[in-house]
Amino acid sequence: MKTLNQIIEQITDLGTAHHQIQSVGVGTIAELQAEERYYPLLWIFHETSGIDDKYLTHDIRLIVADRVITGEEGEDTDGHEQEVLSDSQLIVLDFLAYFMQQHDQEYVVEPSAILEPFTEVWNDRVAGHSVVIQIKQFFDWNKCQIPETGAAISPDVDGITLYDFCDADVRARLTSAQITCLTDALCGACDPVTEQINGTTIGTAASGSTNNQLIKDTANNTIGTAANPSIVSNTTNEVNGVDISDETVAEGTHDQQIHDSAGSDVGTAANPSVVADATVRNNATPTWSDTVEAEGTLTLGQAKMLDSDGTTTVLADYIPTADGFMFTATTCGAAGLSVSVGLSDTTPNFGDVVTITITSSGTPTSYRFWLPTPSGYELVTQGTNTYAWTVGCVGSCTVYGGANEATATGYDIDGIGVTSTGYLLDGLITEPNKATAYRLLSTSYAALPIVNIRRSSDNATADFTAAEITDGTLTTWTGANDGLVTRRYDQSGNGNDDFQTTAGNQFKLVSSGILQTDSGGKPVATVVSTTQALRFYGFMQGSGGTVYASYKPLGGAHAGRYYYLVSRNANPAVGIADDNESSTSSTDNSAGTPTTKVNGAEISPEQRGALGTATLNIESIVTIKDVDWGAIINWISGVMEIFEWCDVDSPTGDMIIFNNNGTEQQTYIESEMNAYYGYY
C-alpha cells in the first residue's frame, strides 16, 4: 500500500516532468500565496482521507493556474483569460489520464471528476482549473503492520479445533509442507513405483512423484503423440510442402524421383531437387541474354517508335521467332528542312517577354514552339515564325522550334539554350501556403513590401521592399537606431504573415544603424527575447506537409535547453532541438512521424539531441517533411510561433510551409536556398 507521501510524490514527479508546468508546490492556498511563483503552476492540496469497508480513499485536489496578462498577443484580457482556461484544462486532463492508466500501481482512481474553473484570484491575478482526484487502495485491516511488541489478547479456545479438515476449502489453505507432514503422520510412507519399457525395468520412482521418461529419435528429437507417446510414427514425404502420400517407416529410406517435362532427371549433387533457371538470349548485335526460373515467364519490352510530332506512338510489327525487320522507316519530317531557332535574349529574367524566331529553308506553312515551364513544356502551333514568349522557367532550360511544309508529315526541329534569372517561388509547380523571408522570393513581389519595420528611437513604422532592405533605404530611414520587425508579409499571396506586436519581443533586422547579415552578407533578423518569437495564425491542415527554414540557433533558452522551428505553446511543434546531445526525445509533438534534413543530410536518429548537434551554432537550411497537420486540431487554430526559445542574437531567415505535397520539388527548393545562402 502506498503512503500519502508516496502518492503526492508521484504527482509532484509528473508535474516536474511535464513540459508546460514551470513550478510545483504542495500545501494550503495560504501557503501558495506566501511567496512568488512561476507559472504555469501545479499546486497539490490533500483535502481528506476516508475508509469504506476495505478501501482507503485519499481526496487530493490538483490546481493548475497561469497568469492573465492584459494585452497579451494584441488581444483583450478576456481573450487571453479564455486561452489560459483552455490550456489549464488540457493540463488537468493530462494528470487525470496519467493516473487512470495506473502504471502497475496498487491503487485505482475514481473515473469521474469535476473540472472547476476559476478566474482573477490570488495576488498574481491568475486563472485556471482545479480537480479532486480520488485514489483508492485496498486496506485489509492487517494487524501485522502495527509497529508494536508484546501486545496480545489471550484466546478462549484452541484455534486448531475451529477448523474442519474435511472441508476442501480448509485443506486448500494448507501449505505443501503441512500436507506432507499430516500425510506422513496419518498414512505412513508408500512403496516406490517400478518403471518398465517393453518389459525391461528402467528404475523406480517415489510414491506420488512423477518421472518423465524421454523417448527420442536418433536426431535427439522427442517422438510420439498423446495417443501413442512411445511409438515412433512413419515419416511423411512432401515436395514443396505438398504431401505425396508415400510414407516411409521410421529410420527407413525413400527415393523421390524428380524429372522435367521431358522426363529427364533434374538437379545436381549439391541441389538434387532444384530445377535450374532457363536462359533466354537473342542472336542480334549487340547480343543480350537473361534468365527465367523454371516454369516462369520472361516478358520482353515492347519495341516502339515515337513519331516526330512528339505524341504519336508507332508499335513494332515483329514477334521474335525468327530474324526479321521490326518496321520499315519511311520518309518523314519536313522533307529535310534546315531549321534554326533564335532568341532576342538568352539571359532574361523570369517574366520578361522574349521573341523566338524560327528560320527555315523551303516554304514552311506551319511552325511549332515548345516552351519550358516548371511542370514541363507548353506547345504552341501557328502559321508565323515568331512568337513573343513570357519567360516561365528559372535557371537553365531549352526552347525548341520546328517547321513543316504542307506536303510533309512531321516537323524538322532545333533547340536553343536559355538561362533565366528568377526567384524561389517562380520555379515551383505548386505554390506553398506560406513564404516569408528578408529577401525576394517571387518576381510578383519585386515592387511590393516584404517587411514592416519599427524604428526604436520614435516607434515610427514603415514598409520596405526586398531591394530597399539592401540598397541603403532601410538603414537611411533608421539612422543610428535599431530597426525591429513588426510584420513579414507572406509572399505566397495567402496572407499568412509573420507578426509580433510586443515591442520587447520583435526581431532585430537593423542594429544601431547596421543591417544584420549572415556570414555571406545576406539579410537576417536576430532574436531579442527568449520568451516569444515571430508569430502567425495557424492554417495548417491535411497530411504530407513540409517546412523549409534557414537559421543559426546559438542555443536553447528553455529550461530544458531546447528550441522550436514551428510551435503553438510547445504542443503541437516540429523541429524541436536540444543543446543536450544525449536527449532522445522526439523532434516533434503531435505531428505524425516527420523526417528532418539539415544542410542536405537527414538526421539520425530523429531525436532532439541529434537535431541540436546538427544545428547548434551552425548556419543551417532545415527541411521537415511528411508532417501530419491533422494529428491535432491546434495546427489550424490559435497563434503559432517560429524560431521560438532560441537564444538572444540567434540569426533567422526564410520560413516556407506547405500543407501538402511540399516534397515534389524538394531538391529544387533546397538547391535554390543553398545557392542563395551558401550554407553547405
What radius of gyration do the chain's Cα atoms show? Answer: 41
Give the dihedral sign, CA 166/167/170/171: positive
CATH number of 339-422: 2.60.40.10
pLDDT tens digit string along 610-652?
A: 999 999 999 999 999 999 999 999 999 889 999 999 999 999 9
Sign of CA dihedral 224, 229, 231, 236: negative
Angstrom CA distances, 81 to 64, 76, 129, 636, stand at 14, 9, 12, 20
Mind listing the pLDDT tens digit for each residue in 473-532? 999 999 999 999 999 999 999 999 999 999 999 999 999 999 999 999 999 999 999 888
Every domain of the chain and the residues it spans: 4-138, 339-422, 434-677
CA distances from 95 to 16, 84, 442 (A): 12, 17, 48
Per-residue pLDDT tens over the stretch 13-29: 999 999 999 999 999 87
pLDDT for 439 beyond 50:
yes
What's residue 328's pLDDT? Answer: 56
DSSP string covering 572-637, please? Answer: SEE--EES-TT--SBSEESS-S-EEEETTEE-SS-BHHHHHHHHTTS-EEEEEEEE-GGG-GGGGS
> For position 139, what pLDDT does the model report?
84
Cβ-contact 45, 63 below 8 angstroms: yes
Amino acid making up residue 6: Q
Q: Is the peptide bond before 40 cis (omega within 30 degrees of 0)?
A: yes
Amino acid making up residue 273: S
pLDDT given for residue 459 in this prediction: 98
Give the pLDDT score at 74: 44
Q: Which fold has domain 4-138?
A: Alpha-Beta Plaits (3.30.70)
- For residue 402, give the amino acid letter: G
Q: How far apart are CA 527 and CA 532, in angstroms?
A: 9
User: Beta strands 41-52 and 23-26: pairing type?
Assistant: parallel
